Each structure stands twice: as C-alpha cells, then as structure tokens.
Amino acid sequence: MARPITLFTGQWADLPFDEVCRLAAEWGYDGLEIACWGDHFEVDRALAEPDYIDRKREQLEKHNLKVFAISNHLVGQAVCDHPIDERHQDILPPSIWGDGEAEGVRTRAAERMKDTARAAAKLGVKTVVGFTGSSIWHTVAMFPPASQAMIDRGYQDFADRWNPILDVFDEVGVRFAHEVHPSEIAYDYWTTRRALDAIGHRPAFGLNWDPSHFVWQDLDPVNFILEFKDLIYHVDCKDAKVRTGDGRRGRLSSHLPWADLRRGWDFVSTGHGDVPWEDCFRALNAIGYDGPISIEWEDAGMDRLVGAPEALQFVRRLAFDAPGAAFDAAFSSSS
C-alpha cells in the first residue's frame, strides 16, 4: 500500500484550518501534518475543551483527510534556546512568553511540550514533530573560543530539559521526531550522534528527516537515512537550492532575506532544488519506512497555491513502493 502523502500546515497557519483542509483535499492530499499554531491545533484547548478533538476530527472527515502527526516546532524551540529574545516573543503564544524572563519561558515551553504529547494521544496520533532548541547553537562559529566543557554543558542542558518531557511521551505512548536543523541541538550527522548519546538513546526520541537542511550543509541525505534507519519516525519533503560558486554567495547567506538571489542557498518548492529525491525515496524503501511523506512547502519565490499541488504530483511520481520481489527472481527455474 502506498504511503500517505500529507501537507504540513505550518506555512498555512494564516488561513483557517477548514480552508487548509479544503485546499489539501481538492489537490488530492491524503491527510495533514497539523501545526500547533494558528487555529490548526491548539494544545491547551485540546486538553481543556471536551469536544475540541471531536470537532477537529469532524473537520478532517468532512474533507476525507487523515492526521498522522502534529508538529510543535515553535514552542519546542524555546525549551533549550539561549538567548531567549524578541525572536521567540514573535513565534510563541503569549501564555508561553509571559513576561519574557528567559528561564520562565523555557519552563513554560517544556510544560507545553508535555501537554503536546498528551493532546496527540487524545487525538490518536503517535508522532509529534518538532524542534528542541539549543543553548550552544550561538557558539557554532567557535569564536570567541568555546571550550569543550561549554559544549558538554550544552548537551547536558538538553538532556536535563528533554528527559522529563520524554517521560511524558513514554507515559502516553507517543514519540517525538526531532527535525535535524541548524539552530537545534542536533543539526548534522555528528551532533545527531551526540544528542542521541546525551539522552541514552531512549526510543521516545527519534528523527524527522527533512533533506533541505542537509544539502546546503554539504551533508548526504541518503546516507543519513541509512545510518539512522531505526530512528526515522517521520519524513518532511522540503527542497533547497545551493547557488554558491561565484565568489560572492556563501553558505551563511549574509543575513539576506529569503528569495534574495544574493543568498548562497534558498528553500525552494519540492523538486526545484538539489535534493536527490529518487535516491532518497529508494533509501526510505530500503529501510522499510512506511509512514507518511509530508510535504513542507517553503518557497519565497513561488506562489504556494501553485507550489503545493505541483509538489504533490512530483512526490507521487517518485515515492514509489518497493517491489514485492527482486526482478531477477523470475530467472529462477523454480519460478
């Protein structure tokens, strides 16, 4: 059976949830990866209002859509981040931001992530996708020099803050799929290894594979799938285009806005960038991944109403199932 192809609603949260459902259904998506912002899925209301979950299910059923994962990237980011500043105020619910005192923000964010697990279980969803934040991302340039002790404290801080959250995930039977992403505790191959070590490789913590964050870092998204085959809990399809090589455009992109062609790379609609999609889908087949393929549409240079249905058709064409038998099985005389 073909894997369901879903639309991640995070980039559509300016629209009412029912409108996003309508669009996704008209385009032919099988379901949604629902963001926990806008009116798409409100964790506090899901736990406080007896009929909230039923009303969400009714909206999905009306459009013949299913939900396979919910995502709470924005709140998860604040669990470990340092510094906490106006960037976080802009993305967090007022109840999480509060008075903006940093440790209070982190504490409230951690409690909301625990509640996200509880709300996911109530919805019947087994996977929450998101970010972890990081207290040491700001040291990535390694100047002023960051000591090994400082880096070690960063991973310990991650473990201290996320282990209690993961305890709740275990209690309710839900898994967390961390999106390996710059600005997080795990942003490439080696930091993913270090993060997994920090929490003792507990099964509640796995990975959301999104190759767009690999290609501009010169990482191989295919080998990442094969290396972490038992921990790929969710898949997001997003693409990136690298435009370095002219001596001016660099990987760090010069604090230029998205879609500015002076940038060294940009997120683009799935199929328009440098992700080796066919090899990636073959690798997902090889590890037996049978979960949803979720299109996270981001392209500041393309209208999303054009890009989202086009991306669906692109993925449907390439995300073919693995065969039931090898082609050379037919050569055997016993066949």
- Whether 99 and 41 have beta carbons less than 8 Å apart is answered as no
Residue 335 is predicted with a pLDDT of: 61
Task: Please give the average pLDDT of every successive group of 10 residues along the chain, which has 335 residues.
Answer: 90 98 98 98 98 98 98 98 98 98 98 99 98 98 97 98 99 98 98 98 98 97 98 98 96 96 97 98 97 97 97 95 74 70
CA dist list (Å): 138 to 73, 91, 132, 144, 188 = 19, 19, 14, 11, 15
What is the three-class DSSP state of 131? Answer: coil
CA–CA separation, 1 vs 229, rounded Å? Answer: 20
CA–CA separation, 8 vs 127, rounded Å? Answer: 13
Cis before 292 (ω within 30): no
The pLDDT tens digits of the residues spanning 144-197 come to: 999 999 999 999 999 999 999 999 999 999 999 999 999 999 999 999 999 999
Structural fold of domain 5-331: TIM Barrel (3.20.20)
The pLDDT tens digits of the residues spanning 297-320 come to: 999 999 999 999 999 999 999 998
CA–CA separation, 327 vs 138, rounded Å? Answer: 51
- Whether 188 and 217 have beta carbons less than 8 Å apart is answered as yes
